[in-house]
A and B are shown apart, each in its own frame.
Chain A
Amino acid sequence: MSVFSEVPQAAPVAVFKLTQDFTNDQFPKKVNLGVGAYRTDDSKPWVLPVVKKVEKVIVHDDTLNHEYLPILGLPEFRSSASKIALGDDSPAIQENRVGAVQCLGGTGALKMGAEFLRRFYNGNNNTTTPVYVSAPTWENHNAVFANAGFEDVRPYKYWDAEKRGLDLAGFLGDLESCPAHSIFVLHACAHNPTGTDPTQEQWKQIAEVMMRRKLFVFFDSAYQGFASGNLEKDAWAIRYFVSLGFEMFCAQSFSKNFGLYNERVGNLTVVARDADNLKRIMSQMEKIVRTTWSNPPSQGARIVAITLNSPELFSEWKGNVKTMADRVLLMRAQLKAKLQALGTPGTWDHITEQIGMFSFTGLNPKQVEYMIKEKHIYLMASGRINMCGLTTKNIDYVAESIHEAVTQVQ
């Protein structure tokens, strides 16, 4: 008799199941447009040249060891990572009111922030504070906040399926009508899954309501550099909000822009009102870290810290990032052009207007099923495709398949 005989089988996480199905598929022309990881034009993973260089340095450096990092992580990683988001000359940093927690990827950063908020925001252990995530959003956002104890995780209007763009009026409406002190998870750039970001003017409107209604700003920044190819441009919204005086959290991931997916490199940047508040916040963050993972893994943070703190390597890294962003932009342009050339019904401007790794194609579930089952092209049920899965070798096949799906399946 087992204590766990009643444990039910859990459904697999969709995006990983998709990759598994793709891997098992024997069809020679299969295409994986699922998981959000960069691929070269040969459909291969890409370890950034700067990362290879720095890893070699690390492995040959006998002065380095594998001792525990401090609870909050590698100091030179934390400070340089926060600078990447906020800018080298950030007044908030100069005012000593910016702190950081090195975390396990962007997920870990969101988790730490969520756990802190649940304990200390809007009262103590106020699990009823609403947490708003965009409709749609990265599927794990809901679980991160729910598992941190928040009972009320809700959607805010974001994607307008009809016009295939941002539903700003809906978004602003939710900001105006939500309960006071609600927490909002904002995608800093390259919104996942829609690829649709607010313009600067739209961000200004969003910020104005959030400031006036005292809503909590929690940025998720998983694609800085990857969206436009320019780090500063991709951090504009974060920096704008900081300049307005918000206290906020920003969960940063270095999985995509450093290609360090499996080393779990993330950073929770904390912008506080002043140094005193910051000190107390960080002391409580330590307690949360200590019962979750004690201290974070050192390899990935070392790689990022060495890179960001060396002018030459930093330059080289920016070049690598631009290489990735440019390939994505090229695939966007080509996919749109091919669909237009095929005369595929509908408008396809959104393919090039959307930004970052993902595109919300607008394909409906039946069409998605057709793509997977008949054409062996794997994408999420939402119609989300990873542009990195497109290459000059498969783009014709994908364009033709989309054309078939749209014209033959309603």
Chain B
Amino acid sequence: HTHELLTFSWWGGVQMGPPDPILGVSEAFKKDSNPKKMNLGVGAYRDDQGKPFVLSCVRKAEAIISAKQLDKEYLGIGGLAEFTKCCAQLALGNDNEVLKSGRSITVQTISGTGSLRIGGNFLSRFHAGPRDVYLPKPSWGNHTPIFRDAGMQLKAYRYYDPSTCGFDFKGALDDISKIPEQSVIMLHACAHNPTGVDPRPEQWKEISDLVKKRNLLVFFDMAYQGFASGDIDRDAWAVRYFIEQGHNILLSQSFAKNMGLYGERVGGFTVVCGDVDEAKRVESQLKILIRPIYSNPPMNGARIASTILSTPDLRSLWLEEVHGMANRIIKMREQLVAGLQKEGSTHNWQHVIDQIGMFCFTGLKPDQVERLTKEFSVYMTKDGRISMAGVTSGNVGYLAHGIHAVTK
């Protein structure tokens, strides 16, 4: 009897889960002994020495917070009030009518992932429209399983044009025009992940008009505000424009990249409602969704973020540092293209400069990616995406050499 119990397992039928495509890249990178190896997989910013970068404004904020000797009492389910206020203001702009009228609700979430998940759960429970969330093709790999686990279904609209390595504007409008009314459409606010391809303002305007015509519910994912152009207002332009045009949007924000607070898990989820009463009702339901997942959010990162955003000299310092990170990336793009030209590449690499944000969709095919990894120890995802953050002035020449070698 005992023997039978000691050999039986409940989990005999559990399959090995597939390795995460992005993290799998980092695993392989670690094992490689080539001194020239490059990790262009994960989207975490690196300085020009290839090291993680803790922002000075973050260190200063931490010192201020440490001196205050605060207690560690539970936050409310919706999170730190000072944070959610700053978070919403950062996205919408201090003078936004929505904030003044109080007709939106922002809850603190576990970074961008947590925000999207809460959003998905909220849609699943309360959205009367179709179960479909329309993602751009391609989109961040984790969008699909997040919304699926939340109970939604996934569809796509054309977005990336591989023949130009740019925006398939015509294809996007064509597909969007056919989306059933009241469906949810996900838009990347800036620095599209994985392609780095963003619509131009006049294109955003047409998209807004069409989305309004189709009566679609807009869900913005803004994980790179400040990181794309270096200017937080410019990067939030699309979000603000849509609100101005009357879209009552859902919005996910992350402070992982723009404040380098990755592991502190700082994010926000906002619902723009019809009026104050609706915002209160929505807030109450968001709390009901959050409580059985993790009860209330973590304090540390939210405290750091709100200290930075609400302390004038820290905020200025932050804006400078974000600008600095964005600029280094832009410079690396330029140097990569220059390097490729120097190597004698005859291909058109303009898209490397035109694309924006942390990622670049190089246009490399899977077999070229494989060669780049095997022969040059340059690690990236199979779709040809590279994280520009992993490129430095010290290795950009080597990268250009490798890319040229596999594409000539």
Contact = CB atoms under 8 A, between A and B. Distances in A.
Interface string B15-55: 11100100100000000000000000010100000001010
Interface stretch (B170-178, B284-292, B371-379): B284-292
A374 interface: no
B71 interface: yes
Interface in A90-121: 103-105, 107-108, 111, 120-121
Contact of B300 (A47, A140, A299): A299
Contacts of A255: 74
Contacts of B294: 103-105, 107-108, 111, 264, 293
B66 A65 contact: no
A260 interface: yes
Contact of A292 (B9, B77, B114, B182): B114
B280 interface: yes
Interface string A34-72: 010100000011110001100110010000011111010
Nearest to A295: B263
A280 B262 contact: no
Contacts of B13: 120, 124
B126 A4 contact: yes
Given A7-B281, A7-B285, A284-B14, A67 B298 contact: no
A297 B263 contact: yes
Interface string A236-272: 0000000001010000000100011111100000001
Contacts of A47: 69, 71-72
B138 interface: no
Interface size class, chain A? 35 or more
Contacts of A294: 110-114, 142
B301 interface: yes
A12 B263 contact: no
Contacts of B188: none
A46 B73 CA distance: 9
Contacts of A280: 11, 14-17
A274 to B, nearest CB: 7
A199 B44 CA distance: 51
A300 interface: yes
Task: Name the 8 nearest CB pairs between A and B, nearest first.
Answer: A2-B274, A104-B294, A273-B9, A283-B17, A143-B292, A298-B263, A294-B113, A299-B300
30 contacts: A3-B217, A4-B271, A5-B274, A6-B126, A10-B281, A13-B288, A65-B54, A66-B261, A68-B42, A68-B262, A71-B23, A111-B292, A140-B291, A245-B5, A262-B73, A263-B72, A263-B298, A263-B300, A273-B10, A277-B14, A279-B16, A280-B11, A281-B11, A283-B16, A284-B14, A287-B145, A293-B265, A294-B114, A299-B264, A300-B298
Interface of B: 2, 5-17, 20, 23, 42, 44, 52, 54, 58, 62-63, 66, 69, 71-77, 110-114, 117, 126-129, 142, 145-146, 148-150, 182, 217, 248, 256, 260-265, 271, 273-274, 278, 280-282, 284-285, 287-289, 291-301
Given A291-B117, A293-B294, 5 more contacts: A10-B281, A283-B16, A298-B263, A299-B298, A299-B300
Interface of A: 1-13, 16, 35, 37, 44-47, 51-52, 55-56, 59, 65-69, 71, 103-105, 107-108, 111, 120-122, 124, 140, 143-144, 146-147, 211, 216, 245, 247, 255, 259-264, 272-274, 277, 279-281, 283-284, 286-288, 290-300
